A and B are shown apart, each in its own frame.
Chain A
Amino acid sequence: SQTIHQWPATLVQPVGSPLSLECTVEGTSNPNLYWYRQAAGRGLQLLFYSVGIGQISSEVPQNLSASRPQDRQFILSSKKLLLSDSGFYLCAWSEAYEQYFGPGTRLTVT
């Protein structure tokens, strides 16, 4: 069966520091991968998606970037974090019509 991992689970970073969140999927090949952000008490906002290695589509221009160095690995990065980058970050993969979500990373920028 397919499994999706995200780490770290929680992260506290100062403003201006770099960021790297990692997502990996097991049990499937060439999945579509997604990064979402959920602000407190809000719905999910799609940030990036990838249909293959090295292929990244950005939905919202901002302080973040994404990369897909391997088929089942998706990384969310920032060179310098802003206070507004705080939130809950979710990685997801899709097969056919449905998306399946990882456990998420809670990021607090101080």
Chain B
Amino acid sequence: AQTVTQSQPEMSVQEAETVTLSCTYDTSESDYYLFWYKQPPSRQMILVIRQEAYKQQNATENRFSVNFQKAAKSFSLKISDSQLGDAAMYFCAYRRNNDMRFGAGTRLTVKP
């Protein structure tokens, strides 16, 4: 079974600084998708960024970028110029067809 591991239960970053959240996953498949979701205190799940496994180029969305290492099965999220509004739980997710697996999450605190 596919599993997703987020080894950092909590992280903190100073406002305007950069932080990297780690994620590893286990799969025997070669074609799949990886995601980072943000869950603020409202608990609404918000898609941050998506990576297709067949693409070698790392995805980027404004201040958010990923470091996708397919061979190592690693998918980290980098948040640049952190803002107070970035404070939330961040979940890494793996999807192949209708099978979607989430990590346990990393709680990010942003210090002013």
Q: Which residues in chain B, 85-111, are within 8 Å of chain A measured between CB atoms?
A: 91, 93, 95, 98-105
User: In the assembly, what is the distance between CA of A90 and CA of B37, in Å?
Assistant: 14
User: In the assembly, what is the distance between CA of A92 and CA of B99, in Å?
Assistant: 13
Q: Which residues in chain B, 29-46, are within 8 Å of chain A measured between CB atoms?
A: 33, 35, 42-45
Q: Are B52 and A49 in contact (CB under 8 A)?
A: no
Task: Give the Cβ gap from A91 to chain B, nearest Cβ, in Å.
Answer: 11
Q: Enumerate chain A residues within 8 angstroms of B91, measured Cβ to Cβ.
A: 43-44
Indicate whether B47 reaches chain A with its CB closer than 8 angstroms.
Answer: yes
Q: Which residues in chain B, 53-112, are within 8 Å of chain A measured between CB atoms?
A: 91, 93, 95, 98-105
Beta-carbon nearest neighbor of B45 in chain A = A101
Most buried by B among A34, A97, A100: A97
Q: Enumerate chain B residues within 8 angstroms of A46, measured Cβ to Cβ.
A: 99-101
Count, chain A residues at interface, CB 8 A: 22
Q: Which residues in chain A, 34-65, are within 8 Å of chain B measured between CB atoms?
A: 34, 41-46, 49, 51, 57
Q: Are B44 and A42 in contact (CB under 8 A)?
A: no
Q: Are B102 and A97 in contact (CB under 8 A)?
A: no
Residue in contact with A97 in the complex, picked from B6, B52, B99, B101, CB distance below 8 Å: B52
Q: Are B50 and A34 in contact (CB under 8 A)?
A: no
Beta-carbon nearest neighbor of B43 in chain A = A104
* Per-position binary interface string of chain A over residues 80-110, scored 1 when its CB falls under 8 Å from any chain B CB and 0 otherwise: 0000000010101000011111011010000
User: In the assembly, what is the distance between CA of A92 and CA of B104, in Å?
Assistant: 18
User: In the assembly, what is the distance between CA of A101 and CA of B105, in Å?
Assistant: 17
Listed in ascending order, the chain B residues whose CB lies under 8 Å from chain A are: 4, 6, 33, 35, 42-45, 47, 50, 52, 91, 93, 95, 98-105
Listed in ascending order, the chain A residues whose CB lies under 8 Å from chain B are: 32, 34, 41-46, 49, 51, 57, 88, 90, 92, 97-101, 103-104, 106
The 6 closest A-B pairs by CB, nearest first: A101-B45, A43-B102, A44-B102, A43-B104, A49-B98, A97-B33
